[in-house]
């Protein structure tokens, strides 16, 4: 028989967590270990994953550039969303394919450094004349993020997005599990702010932060001109 008193207390304790406590718990217990898409590890905040689906349906990009794929769970998720929409291709850019799992007709893998000119040129060729959306989930050091922002933002089409992930690292102390490591002095959020100072063609679209619990603060950059 269900112990109603014990159950209510258990859930009361869970529901009394702060947002900060939830984020830390998710980062420690769920994000790296138990979240999957179609059996492939997907290192993502599920609320951000839902938002990706909404953005893709709104924009209907013909090309999604994913900078940083790791195991490929998000790559496969994006490809499956494009299946539902009925068109499009995911261009996965990553240095290492050792852990990359998915194979799908809508996934094209470019193995190499995103900062390399040859990588950019291969990507640009695949995007020529297409509606393009970019997602950055690679090296989270400010310098690396800013370099990719300045390069690949040129490929984003008007009305579409450059999504910079994991700016949350800048909002937590380096001593926190979810915060920057000691080697990362500034991260994605700092890169976003500097990029926006010199790029009036983009603006932060806060609609996509409506669930509050996001790993991507100020990370949904819409190209407006």
DSSP-assigned letters across all residues of 139-208: --SHHHHHHHHHHHGGGPPTT-EEEEP-GGGGGS-TTSTTS--TT-SS-HHHHHHHHHHT-TTEEE-GGG
Q: Is 85 helix (H, G, I), strand (E, B) or coil?
A: helix
- 12 domain residue, yes or no: no
Residue 179 has what pLDDT? Answer: 61
Number of domains within the chain: 1
- 104 domain residue, yes or no: yes
- 172 domain residue, yes or no: yes
Residue 52 has what pLDDT? Answer: 98
Strands 36-37 and 40-41: antiparallel
Residue 122 sits in a domain whose CATH number is: 3.40.50.150
- 2 domain residue, yes or no: no
Indicate whether 223 pLDDT > 60.
yes
DSSP state of 28: I
Which residues constitute the domain of residue 133? 36-223
Cβ atoms 136, 91 nearer than 8 A: no
More confident site: 8 or 109: 109
- Model confidence at 78, in pLDDT bands (50, 70, 90)? very high
Residue 6 has what pLDDT? Answer: 76
Q: Quote the pTM value.
A: 0.92
- What is the distance between the terminal CA atoms of the chain, rounded to a whole angstrom? 62
Measured in whole angstroms, how far is the alpha carbon of residue 157 from the centre of its chain? 18
- 5 domain residue, yes or no: no
pLDDT tens, 44-64? Answer: 999 999 999 999 999 999 999
- 53 domain residue, yes or no: yes
- 8 domain residue, yes or no: no
Residue 181 has what pLDDT? Answer: 54
DSSP state of 63: E
């Amino acid at each position: 028989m269900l112990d109603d008193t014990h159950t209510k207390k258990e859930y009361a304790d869970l529901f009394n967590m702060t947002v900060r406590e939830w984020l830390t718990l998710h980062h420690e217990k769920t994000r790296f270990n138990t979240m999957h898409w179609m059996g492939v590890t997907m290192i993502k905040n599920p609320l951000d994953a839902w938002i990706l689906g909404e953005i893709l349906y709104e924009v209907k990009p013909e090309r999604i550039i994913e900078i940083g794929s790791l195991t490929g769970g998000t790559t496969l998720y994006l490809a499956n969303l494009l299946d539902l929409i009925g068109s499009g291709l995911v261009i996965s850019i990553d240095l290492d394919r050792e852990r990359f799992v998915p194979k799908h007709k809508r996934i094209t893998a470019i193995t190499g450094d995103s900062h390399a000119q040859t990588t950019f040129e291969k990507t640009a060729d695949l995007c020529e004349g297409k509606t393009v959306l970019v997602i950055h989930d690679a090296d989270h050091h400010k310098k690396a993020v800013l370099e990719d922002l300045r390069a690949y933002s040129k490929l984003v089409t008007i009305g579409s997005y450059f999504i910079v992930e994991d700016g949350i690292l800048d909002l937590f102390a380096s001593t926190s599990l979810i915060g920057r490591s000691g080697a990362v002095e500034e991260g994605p959020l700092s890169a976003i702010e500097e990029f926006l100072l010199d790029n009036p063609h983009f603006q932060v679209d806060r609609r996509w932060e409506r669930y509050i619990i996001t790993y991507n603060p100020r990370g949904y950059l819409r190209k407006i001109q």
